[in-house]
Structure 1
Amino acid sequence: MTSYGYHVIASSAAAVVARVCTHPLDTLKTRLQVANEPIHFRTLPETYAKFIRTNSIASLYRGLPVSLVFSVPALSIYLSCYDITSGYLDKSTSLSRNHSTNHLLSGFVAEIFASLAFTPMEVMKNQLQTTKQSESTLSLASRIWRVEGLPGFFRGYTMSLAVFVPYTMTYFAVYEKLKSYMAQHYLSSPLNTPVKTDSMVSQLPFAAYMASSTIACAIGITISTPLDIVKTRWQISFSEQGTAYKGGPVYIIKQMWQQGGYRAFSRGMLTRICWGIPSTAISMTIYESIKDWYAMEHQNH
């Protein structure tokens, strides 16, 4: 199997495991972001408890099927584009794989292409997660197609780029720096085998990938949460067909400020961090581990 084939397998496995494990937190995060009433409960356990009292446990998994269908190709595009762009810049320019600008540009390219798959997923997933009435994915897709046509599935694509391009660029810049730092310390130990820090494969321990991803994700989420809330509200406005649907993101921002001030733009941030960290850490750790395994097998043959 080619290197690209292993990239697809690695990213697909990462997408499925991460999505299944963290989807309930994603549902809670989405519900909190679109809620208009003040939040009177302070802790995450209290938030969960209130949600379970007023909803079924099954409702935590609304939107999971469409998430799995889209997240596999989306994450494959995302991670493959990042690695391919990073490799191209390394070979064709003066920007080595360890250069911060390489990480920023590779993340930028990856997000632009991956959002073409992530955006339809977010549009349908968010509406399924926030509606009180059960609706099938096929029924929702048919309704969006009848009312808005193909553009309806890409509602918020520009907003998604505004949210996730800064997130992705921040994430990979921090992630790669931390990974390089850990590789240097791993190299210095006499008990460990050499680590190729200048190549795509670093063959770091499982925990190193997990720690690097966790820190990078927390920083990226903190930066991108305000616009993510606006994006989510804009994407679900189709179901309501109200003033937010007609007014667009600018109206939503004004409405949020009037209703909750600056606090409205951090609504659900803790839940988003609690969802994003395991989701990203699982994805990247599985992806990097499978890549490392392929590289070792390839070197042995």
Structure 2
Amino acid sequence: MSAGGEHLKDEGTKRQVVLAGGIAGLISRFCIAPLDVVKIRLQLQIHSLSDPFAHQITNGPVYKGTLSTMRAIVRHEGITGLWKGNIPAEMMYVCYGAAQFTAYRGTTQALAQLGPYRPPPSVESFLSGAVAGACATGMTYPLDLLRTRFAAQGPDRVYHSLRASVVEIARHEGIPGYFRGCSAAVAQIVPYMGLFFTTYESLRPAMSIWDSLPMGTGDAAAGVVASVLAKTGVFPLDLVRKRLQVQGPTRTRYVHRNIPEYTGVLQSMAVIVRTQGIRGLYRGLTVSLIKAAPASAVTMWTYERALKVLQEHNIAADR
């Protein structure tokens, strides 16, 4: 096992890993919230960005690029519009970060007990990352759905509060309403997290020479590269997940009011390709990559630093 892999997996007690993961998720989410809102708006936009008649085929705004989308949101919804959905998102990121790193640590320790049957380091990292991603996604998915729905709201609010959204979804859509698009999320997160952790732990030792630079540059750089590569590979599933999350009785009430009705992952992808072409599966990819880089860099840097501080001060050290 590589030195980087052992560093991430074996240091820290379970409580320290949970706390460090939660801190990493909280700080990362707040920093990239505006980019997340922009990404969701672009993913839900079905018309061509280059269509000069786009305003005639939709009741919603026409967004063209990251900066112009930000300006449009601030102009029509105020600066707070860039943080729509931040409360459920913060809750999701804290829980997700804690669950992800706990599952990752537990899985790698379980695999280490296999002795001669222990898989190679790269396979072990992939399996651990995939299991961690799947567990964390399933546990936090309702919060992910709420984050998307709040971010998709325009000046006319669909839900007036987090509590109201929970009650309304339960009343009109039932428990399944909280898990719309979950199959796409799991299908996306398993290869994403597997690829992310495999790439991260492969790059981290090589980039450790940068650790002499300020703020742990090696950890951050490895996180950036790993996230960009993994995100590009699974982006179509992320887009489909967002489209499925806004299905239901409120589908025509969001900022984009012409979102088609989708019923499943494969059907959604087929409809998107047929009506919008392959490019339709990659709407918002640019801002997604812009978001993924700082998000992963902040997450991994904060996790490593927080875990180190917890260990140095012997905080939450009981196993």
Name the TM-score class by shorter chain: 0.7 to 0.9
Change (3 A) 1:55 1:260: farther
Larger helix fraction of residues = 1
Matching residue of 2:182: 157
Q: In the alignment, is residue 284 of structure 1 matched against residue 300 of structure 2?
A: yes
Separation of aligned partners in 2, 1:29 and 1:176: 27
Change (3 A) 1:253 1:276: same
Matching residue of 1:221: 231
Q: Which runs of 5+ in 1 are unaligned?
A: 193-203
Q: Map 1:170-209 onto structure 2 (within 5 A).
A: 170-183=195-208, 185=209, 206-209=216-219
Q: Which amino acid aligns with 2:106?
A: I
Matching residue of 1:6: 16
Change (3 A) 1:219 1:95: farther
Q: In the alignment, is residue 261 of structure 1 matched against residue 261 of structure 2?
A: no
Separation of aligned partners in 2, 1:155 and 1:4: 32
Separation of aligned partners in 1, 2:21 and 2:119: 20
Separation of aligned partners in 2, 1:281 and 1:179: 12
Separation of aligned partners in 1, 2:259 and 2:227: 34
Q: 1:240 aligns with which of 247, 251, 255?
A: 251
Q: How many residues align?
A: 282
Alignment TM-score, normalising by the size of structure 2:
0.80
Separation of aligned partners in 2, 1:8 and 1:246: 37
Change (3 A) 1:53 1:94: farther
Separation of aligned partners in 2, 1:243 and 1:284: 35
Matching residue of 1:38: 48
Separation of aligned partners in 1, 2:192 and 2:174: 29
Q: Which runs of 5+ in 2 are unaligned?
A: 1-11, 51-62, 253-257
Matching residue of 1:22: 32
Q: 1:81 aligns with which of 96, 100, 103?
A: 103
Matching residue of 2:255: none
| Pairwise CA distance, 1:53 | 3.4
Q: In the alignment, is residue 274 of structure 1 matched against residue 290 of structure 2?
A: yes
Separation of aligned partners in 1, 2:241 and 2:117: 33
| Pairwise CA distance, 1:171 | 0.4
Q: 1:210 aligns with which of 220, 230, 247?
A: 220
Q: In angstroms, what is the RMSD of aligned CA positions?
A: 2.7
**Matched-pair contact (CA < 8 Å) for 2:49–2:64:** yes
| Pairwise CA distance, 1:9 | 1.6
Change (3 A) 1:254 1:261: same
Q: 1:143 aligns with which of 154, 168, 171?
A: 168
**Identical positions, percent:** 24
Matching residue of 1:201: none
Change (3 A) 1:253 1:205: same
| Pairwise CA distance, 1:7 | 1.2
Alignment TM-score, normalising by the size of structure 1:
0.85
**Matched-pair contact (CA < 8 Å) for 1:86–1:97:** no
Separation of aligned partners in 2, 1:291 and 1:98: 26
Change (3 A) 1:47 1:95: farther
| Pairwise CA distance, 1:73 | 1.5
Q: In the alignment, is residue 115 of structure 1 matched against residue 126 of structure 2?
A: no
Matching residue of 2:114: 92
Matching residue of 2:3: none
Separation of aligned partners in 2, 1:157 and 1:88: 27
Change (3 A) 1:53 1:97: farther
**Matched-pair contact (CA < 8 Å) for 2:197–2:226:** yes
Q: What do the CA deviations read for 1:33-71 (whole angstroms, capped 9, x no partner)?
A: 001222247653233234433432211111111112222
Change (3 A) 1:94 1:154: farther
